[in-house]
Structure 1
């Protein structure tokens, strides 16, 4: 037993693991020596010599126990009465302990709770978690600065993107309003035809390093954070109606009308039937069910939040500017499609029709009122 323990301990201390900024199954497997995984897998799941070390057979409980052993192992034998202490080891940052610490801190914001888990050997220390979170924030901001635009690295170059803007309300029932937040959020979505490696996202994590004793996150580019003032538009010119070609050629809208009729017929057929989760009666569910076997999961990301309320004309115009800059960066030539609710839709149309904002960069938008469905 002692020889086996010493042999595996040699493998453990010969391994060097640093947090790369990402959590996935492969990262957990690569952070633990293979012989340690095999031993724990045999103890938990029983011996199986043929495929004991194959990745599909390595379950999460096995990875959890292995990472706890890696993160809490001491290189030198401790004295019998020496009090146990948890020491931050830079080259043995287990993904599990970092994930637990970040998850607990994100949910509770309690330093004492994170440090208690650290004393139990289940998490990194509070100071270490804060260093990692700050480094993650600074890394993405450096990425924005290098690219010259605030554009999420998850988005794929050359793929069509749809945007959505709405107000963000946090704790609106606060009696003192000190804990409430009324801001604006902008989300971007892509439906990719194929799944390919994203070089923009790979470059982001290649440069990631944990900065020690850095407590502040750097500022975002001023072009993103500064919302220029704007009064309510007064001089507006509504666009012309449908062209004569469109009015004389109803076939241009035939496919759209046919799809709407298919949905209405589907709803009508189910009025006398028992409704279940497979019925797909809503407009969105019906059309999504037609493509569920041929569509890959969408890529979605959210831009940093704005403190300004979405209902202001200045913030809405800034949404157009921010979205246009992001689209021009990764998919030049595309016209932006922005989805908003009805009140914001009405104000955005006023901005779009105002004489002072008829520049091409502002008017190349298709506004969608998603509440009309």
Structure 2
């Protein structure tokens, strides 16, 4: 009598009655019975009568025979098989949504863009694994950064077809999540080490080093193209219609590490803006192109080429337009708050933990709603040192062009240390 074993010899033995009838008929023919007629139900009754430890169970249109001692292990294996089926179905559902959900890195990593780059079902599945499937756990924990990171890595490492023979698979740009892009760009900005970035990429945690160079080249190409179109070097983070000031100074980088190969002594121009509650308008964000460039193009010549200049004995001051200043009421409200703090400090005799008499505590507590965090941007560095008339004149010209582009009608304001201030004045 043959039998079908579900797993190994040590596994529970389960017979299917339909599979027993056919070999039983063949055995009767071997024993000399002429054209035996095997009735499955009668065969089952004879087996149960002759083997008391055997039990009959019906599953659909099939009849299964199993020993009483094997019923428990059989049920246990069936439950595990059922769980495996549920996991397989869940993985198939999520995989279909992951392959259909497509996003591409545009030009910036915005807050909230991580959720847009992954299917909602995948994010909820990861949250359920980390925090539990009940509603209370979801309401208590919400969506943590670890949930977004894990879900984005799963989406980033999802392949429609895996290529054999490759040690590192090629990731699809349609499923390039912000987390993988951020890790690659961050390591490149901090270390510039190809080996480190490729090692993270090999483990599915980051984009590749070649992809980092491609994104960097595309961003640089897009920025230079915008500078040419606007005919002024002005970073996109700066807004229009805001009071803008600038500062010029030398910037030095002389690394002392034994592995360092370069150093520089250049000139930097920084731009500062004071945003208000009324002006929250952003400039058009950059959109990278589909070109395969990996090298940033040259800056416009009107920015990098510094024309010769020299001092005159009696220079004539340039004409100045009317200065546009913020409303005087804003200064009055701020000054009133400062004097109230001074009076409070003067009248304070007993100091306790709740007394905000220090300047840092006062400044942190009395920030008015009209004042917001200043916008700061560093213009591209210039190779020439700042301690020259030509360089200072060039910086003043570029600042004037940027201010006229951002806030027309405003008088340019340039800040500098004492040696540079003397030349600029």
Question: Is TM more than 0.5 here?
Answer: yes
Give the whole-Å Cα distance in 2 for the aligned partners of 1:342 and 1:197.
35
Range that drifts further, 70-79 or 24-33: 70-79
- CA gap of 1:348–1:193, structure 2 versus 1, over 3 A, is same
Q: Does 1:150 align with 2:233?
A: yes
Q: Residues of 1 paired with 2:101 and 2:341: CA distance?
A: 62
How many pairs does the alignment contain?
322
Match of 2:153 in 1: 68
RMSD: 3.7
Show the counterpart of 2:131. Answer: 45
* Separation (CA, whole Å) in 2 of partners of 1:278 and 1:144: 47
2:420 aligned with 1:344: yes
Larger Rg: 2
Q: Which has the higher contact order (CA 8 A, sep 6+)?
A: 1
**Counterparts of 1:168 and 1:195, CA distance in 2:** 35
Are 1:95 and 2:197 matched, yes or no? Answer: no
The answer to whether the 8 Å contact 1:15/1:33 transfers is yes
Question: In 1, Cα distance between the equivalents of 2:282 and 2:309?
Answer: 38
Find the residue that maps to 1:300 and give its secondary structure.
strand
- Contact conserved, 1:152 with 1:301, CA < 8 A, in 2? yes
Q: Return closer, same or farther for 1:290/1:26 CA change in 2, 3 Å cut-off.
A: closer
d(CA) in 1 for partners of 2:163 and 2:315? 79
Residue 277 of structure 2 corresponds to 194
Deviation at 1:209, TM superposition (A): 2.3
1:267–1:281 CA contact under 8 A, matched in 2: no
- Residues of 1 paired with 2:263 and 2:163: CA distance? 50
2:113 corresponds to: 27
Kept in 2, the 8 Å contact 1:86–1:118? The answer is: no
1:371 aligned partner: none
Q: Distance in 2 between matches of 1:177 and 1:89?
A: 35
State whether structure 2 residue 95 is matched by structure 1 residue 12.
no
Give the whole-Å Cα distance in 1 for the aligned partners of 2:376 and 2:176: 29
The verdict on how the C-alpha distance between 1:176 and 1:167 changes in structure 2, with shifts beyond 3 A counting, is: farther
Segments of structure 2 that go 5 or more residues without pairing to the other structure are 1-86, 319-331
* Alignment match, 1:117: 200
Partners of 1:158 and 1:234 in 2: CA distance: 38
**Which whole-Å CA distance do the structure 2 matches of 1:90 and 1:53 have between them?**
33
Q: Which residue of 1 aligns with 2:291?
A: 211
**Residue 220 (str. 1) matches residue 303 (str. 2):** no
C-alpha displacement at 1:198, in angstroms? 3.7
In the alignment, which residue of structure 1 is the partner of 2:263? 180
Q: TM-score, normalised by structure 1?
A: 0.75
Q: Rate the CA distance shift 1:20–1:78 in 2: closer, same or farther, 3 A.
A: closer
| TM-score between both structures, scaled by the size of structure 2 | 0.66
1:59 aligns with 2:59: no
Q: Does 1:303 align with 2:379?
A: yes
Over 3 Å counting, the alpha-carbon distance change for 1:93 and 1:196 in structure 2 is farther
Q: What whole-Å deviation, never above 9, does each CA across 1:316-368 have from its counterpart, x for those lacking one?
A: 1111100111111121111011121122111111xxxxxxxxxxxxxxxxxxx
